[in-house]
Amino acid sequence: MSIVSEISSTAQVDPPCPLNLEGSSLVQAYCRKTPGSSALANRARQIFPGGITHDARYIEPHGIYVTHAEGSRKWDVDGNEYVDYSGGHGALILGHNHPLITDAVRDQLGKGTHYGAGHELEIEWGGIIKDMVPCAERVRFTNSGTESTMLALRLARAHTGRSKFLRFKGHFHGWHDYVTGGVTSHFDGSPITGVPSGTSATMVIAPPNDLKATAAILSRDDDIAAMILEPTGSTWGKVPIMPSFLVGLRRLADEFGVTLIFDEVVSGFRCSPGGAQEAYGVTPDLTTLGKIVSGGLPGAALVGKKEYLDLIDFRQTAMDGRERISHKGTFNAAPASGAAGIAALNLVRSGGPCAEAIGYGNRLIDELNAMFSTESVNWVAYGTFGGFHVFLNPQAKSTDRKEIESGEFGAENIAASKDPSFVMKVRIGALLHGVDLQGWPGGPVSAAHTDDDLGRTVDSFRQTIRLLRSDGDID
């Protein structure tokens, strides 16, 4: 064999699964149920790194491959039906394939996909956002939440003349260089592989829900331009933020002349029509938006006070004699995304979809906790604003939902979990029994979820617990 062919042959060998799933009857049953998805996963591994196109879709031994979706359900290539708690990674508060949205997009596609020019839809879309979001004196469209946080930090630096920013441990703000550290690792501020040390040095990490620690940082460092956080807490509220903390941050931002940025890519138009800032009554200087804002199509935005967004305004910067910040993006305010966004936000602004999702989420949490008690596991379901989490509680900590949701339980307690192999088995068990969860485990709920979905979800967890117990994974 030649050296070239030997290298090529070696390159085709898949690396082993890093998790301990051997001997799990639950995983074996899942593999028998999803042969079509398994085959597609094998093909995908020869094309994509890890066989996936988004980290959140990482599932061992393989994920499902979906053919279509409707309302709260989706179906895979093997014909299996699932209650969906991925919801387009949180973009689909109205559920899959809502007729008003699909009709609006279909109509727009007949008129063109990209004009390379302004269009009336972008004005209507931006106007709706401006009316709904309290801080939105001006709107700038982007293509993703990551792009929005990039622009927000740049505007904050330009506005304040400072170079650093303060972020909170565990909070996610996209994957660009400035915000990669401090989410799941590198809590000491050290650079992640591929990120220059000078870039990481501009980031200061603080513990969430600790105003004294935040105030101390701001007091000793006068080069901090901004504070950025997820206002409902990290990972969709997995580690909840106390409302009083938000009030305190607004006060500290004013006191120290620091820009307060709410990352509402997740919470925007979900907590309430005006997002978390409306629900909590705390108005930031800048807000990043994504997911729901474009009705399930690609799109995002940065909104905020005029004095910040003026920094990308040609006329205003010329009049002020300031250097303008350039901002481009091939698909900013794409017409089809605008059509979907307008249709979705016109439905959300009534408040009905938010209330329905929140109500379903609360009922689901109550039913799950009742079942956990019956099954004698110390797991805890909790969540706010239409999202739910299951704390697997390996160290037998609190089983009080209210204590966890208050934010006083502590990030370290919530972050503690069984090993990743166990968490993956829980997720696989849900798929085996017809429920697709996010990897926490948990997920966002939608206004399309029904009482039948609730019953199926509770039963899926029940059957998963029993299989885990029969395999000796839990007592």
DSSP, residue by residue, 189-248:
-PPPTTS-HHHHTTEEEE-TT-HHHHHHHHHH-TTEEEEEE-TTEHHHHTEEPPHHHHHH
Please enumerate in sequence order all residues whose Cβ is within 8 A of that of 170, keeping only pairs 6 or more positions apart, or say none: 182, 183, 184, 208, 234, 235, 239, 411, 415
For residues 86 and 443, what is the distance between their CA atoms, to the nearest angstrom? 6
Which pLDDT does position 242 carry in this prediction? 95
Please report the pLDDT score of residue 182 as a whole number: 84
Which CB contacts under 8 angstroms, 24+ apart, belong to 304-310? 304/135, 304/136, 304/137, 304/138, 304/152, 304/155, 305/135, 305/137, 305/138, 306/137, 306/138, 307/159, 308/138, 308/155, 308/156, 308/159, 308/259, 309/137, 309/138, 309/139, 309/140, 309/155, 310/138
- According to DSSP, the β-strands at 387-391 and 442-444 are antiparallel
Cβ–Cβ under 8 Å, residues 207 and 411 = yes
Write down the residue that tokens 């909170």 correspond to: 168
Looking up tokens 């602004």 gives 349
Nearest to 56 by CA among 444, 419, 360, 467: 444
Backbone phi, psi, residue 382, to 5°: -155, 175
pLDDT of residue 166: 98
Cα(46)–Cα(201) distance, rounded to whole angstroms?
37
* Structure tokens that stand for 123 in this block: 């004005």
Predicted pLDDT of residue 21: 93
- Domain segments of the chain as ranges: 18-95+352-470, 99-348
**Residue-level pLDDT at 12:** 63
Task: Report the candidate in 36, 81, 99 with the shortest Cα–Cα distance to residue 63.
Answer: 36
pTM: 0.94
Share in percent of the chain as helix, strand, coil (round to 5): 45, 15, 40
Polymer length in residues for the chain: 475
User: 386-443 pLDDT, tens per residue?
Assistant: 899 999 987 777 778 888 888 777 766 776 666 899 999 999 999 999 999 998 899 9
Q: Phi and psi of 388, rounded to 5°?
A: -135, 150
Return the pLDDT at 417: 62
User: What is the residue-wise DSSP string for 15-49?
Assistant: PPPSS--TT-HHHHHHHHH-HHHHHHHHHHHTTSG
Task: Give the span between the Cα atoms of 425 and 377, in whole angstroms.
Answer: 16
| Long-range pairs, 308-317, Cβ under 8 A, ≥24 | 308/138, 308/155, 308/156, 308/159, 308/259, 309/137, 309/138, 309/139, 309/140, 309/155, 310/138, 311/155, 311/158, 311/159, 312/140, 312/155
Confirm whether 18-95+352-470 and 99-348 share one CATH topology. no
**99-348 belongs to CATH 3.40.190.10:** no
- CA 170/CA 234 separation, integer angstroms: 6
Tell me what pLDDT residue 163 has.
Answer: 98
Q: Check: CB of residue 297 under 8 Å from CB of residue 106.
A: no
Residues of the chain with pLDDT under 70: 1-13, 411-412, 415-418
Question: The domain 18-95+352-470 belongs to what CATH superfamily?
Answer: Aspartate Aminotransferase, domain 1 (3.90.1150.10)
pLDDT above 90 covers a percentage of the chain that reads 83
Instruction: Please state the separation of Cα 380 from the chain's center in Å.
Output: 21
Instruction: From 343, 383, 333, select the one nearest 361 (Cα to Cα).
Output: 383
Give the span between the Cα atoms of 66 and 78, in whole angstroms.
9
